[in-house]
Chain A
Amino acid sequence: MNEKPQAPAIEGWFTMDDKPRLIGTQCCACGTYFFPKQQRYCKNPDCDSTDFREVQLSRTGRVWSYTNACYKPPAPFVAAEPFEPYTIAAVTLEEEQMTVLGQVVTGVNVSDLKVGMAMELVLEPLHETDDDIKMTWKWRPLAEQGEQH
């Protein structure tokens, strides 16, 4: 029913394949990861490097915490009419030792989640424009709980 092409909601922040990953950077000197990308100065107080490489972050992690949005956020959020509440999770990536926020896929509620659950990164529509469907990263419970990659 929808013939529009898919486009990233934020250009260059994640890959658009079927096993998507967030795109960050890593300091070449100390190994600190950055998401969103940081390319000018390292925020580690022990490091004064200005040398960074672009990296794809782990696409699985564990729930740090979770909630939902019961009310429509203000712009620039583009809400569907009528507004449908959505779930949100903060997920900790083990290798990067970093926690990343994102919506949770449609159909998963707060009551389905628990701190420590394994999650994976997928893409889902955020909203539509006249020209395309803007896609964003979302967290989805891993089918097989207990395993992490």
Chain B
Amino acid sequence: MSNDIAIIGAGMHPWGKWGHNFVEYGVAAAREALADAGIPWQDVGFVSGGATVRCGYPGYVAGATFAQALGWQGCEVNTSYAACASGSQALAAARNKILAGACDVALVIGADTTPKGFLAPAGGYRPEDPDWVRFYLGITNPTYFALYARRRMDLYGDTLEDFAAVKVKNSLIGSKNPRARYRKCFTAEDVAASAMVADPLRLMDICATSDGGAALIICSADYARRIGKADAPRIAAISTVTPSFASAVVEMPDIATDSAAAAGIEAHSFRAALPVKAYEEAGIGPEDVDVAEVYDLSTALELDWIEDLQLAPRGEAAQLLRRGDTAVGGRIPVNPSGGLACFGEAVPAQALAQVCELTWQLRGECGDRQVAGAKVGITANQGLFGHGSSVIIKR
């Protein structure tokens, strides 16, 4: 068990559209995580930050920025960029640092302030940039999520009512989460009345972008024992695999998939590959999972993730939803935090926010949102440029 890394502290600044500097959110999350762990900032030997390329200039959203804000104390530092999976890569870097024996305690941190409006590419004539190409041809972010959603409808018989039911489920549980941005309980009628964005997805099927900050304090098993937290949740696996050629699904910002025409090449789904490595590393299977936090960039995408995590056979996630299996109180609750539907996406913080929620769930501290007896939790997310992750924690 000496290879176990413990999560002894978790903290989040509430998600919202606060418009403040992202450093403020990170500091608040870090201080909450330190207080939760009951250790002084001076004990942290490694700060591992999730990066994004916004907010001022590239390189500013970094581990060192938070270390400075908390007060330079000479610890080592790291910054990871992996789009939506930035937080998981930062977590992996911290875990490996501790496993290598180079430090006992690490702070893993991510925070973001998202800019207003559409994220559009630079102008001009730049056909070498896939982002320029797809916007020029009229392909926006919701296009991709709508393509995945429509395919579910035609192949598996999913309905608009199913997608709305995901929103209703997540908004109900998220209304009980003080850290969530959207805390109103929405009805199926509310979803149906919202504007169509990309058929079949309406405004309320698609997640927003938010400000937020999340932090974890992780440490060696020895250190956890020394401070009386031997039973803290453990990191059982961190999967940050790349896709395998050839891509089966057309991914943002591309205009086409890979070709699987060469001998010996098959088309692979990236989303489905991410948890496979996590299950393998943790030495467990989907049947052992009690709770999942998945990246519901759209309502329909939550159903895709349920199948990618093998919590339901392909095409059957909507049946779980209709039976109430994926709600808190059901057989396999998904997104008990309220998910991105209630948070909105704060890219470098989001993968860590997923782990924060699982940490609190496994400690049984979630009150009205608690998944009874949760011992094993899994996260999943996927972002731009072949980045994605899946983390398993257990207690």
Contacts and interface: CB of A to CB of B under 8 A. Distances in A.
Nearest to B122: A76
A51 B367 CA distance: 61
Interface stretch (B34-42, B195-203, B213-221, B228-236): B195-203
Interface residues of A, number: 48
Contacts of B255: 35-36, 100-102
B135 A103 contact: no
B20 to A, nearest CB: 26
Given A75-B123, A76-B135, A98 B150 contact: no
A45 B264 CA distance: 11
Nearest to B265: A44
B250 interface: yes
Contacts of B262: 27, 30-32, 44, 46-47
Interface in A5-34: 9-11, 13, 27, 30-34
Contacts of A100: 255-257
A69 B138 contact: yes
Nearest to B147: A65
Interface string B140-179: 1011001111110011000000000000000000000000
- Chain A CB count within 10 A is highest, among B127, B130, B257, B265, for B257
Contact of A101 (B124, B139, B200, B265): B139
Nearest to B151: A65
A98 B258 CA distance: 6
A101 B123 contact: no
A90 B147 contact: yes
Chain A contact residues, majority secondary structure: loop
B26 to A, nearest CB: 29
Interface string A29-65: 0111111100000011111000000000000000011
A136 to B, nearest CB: 6
B285 interface: no
A60 to B, nearest CB: 16
B158 to A, nearest CB: 12
B138 A67 contact: no
Given A97-B259, A98-B259, A101-B256, A66 B267 contact: no
A65 B154 contact: yes
A99 to B, nearest CB: 4
Nearest to B149: A67
Nearest to A29: B262
Contacts of A34: 259
Contact of A33 (B198, B199, B259): B259
Chain B contact residues, majority secondary structure: loop
Contacts of A97: 246, 259-261, 267
Nearest to A86: B138
Contacts, number: 149
A115 interface: yes
Given A35-B256, A36-B255, A68-B198, A46 B135 contact: no
A4 interface: no
- Chain A CB count within 10 A is highest, among B121, B123, B124, B259, for B259
- Chain A CB count within 10 A is highest, among B135, B199, B201, for B199
Nearest to A79: B138
Contacts of A71: 140, 197
B133 interface: yes
B100 interface: no
A88 B261 CA distance: 24
B136 A9 contact: yes
A68 B12 CA distance: 37
A31 B261 CA distance: 7
A36 B123 CA distance: 20
A10 B138 CA distance: 13
A46 B260 CA distance: 12
B257 to A, nearest CB: 4
Contact of B135 (A36, A45, A65, A75): A75
Contact of B245 (A35, A45, A64, A69): A45
Interface in B217-257: 244-246, 250, 255-257
A27 B261 CA distance: 11
B200 to A, nearest CB: 8
A122 B140 CA distance: 22
B17 interface: no
Contacts of B130: 36
Nearest to A70: B196
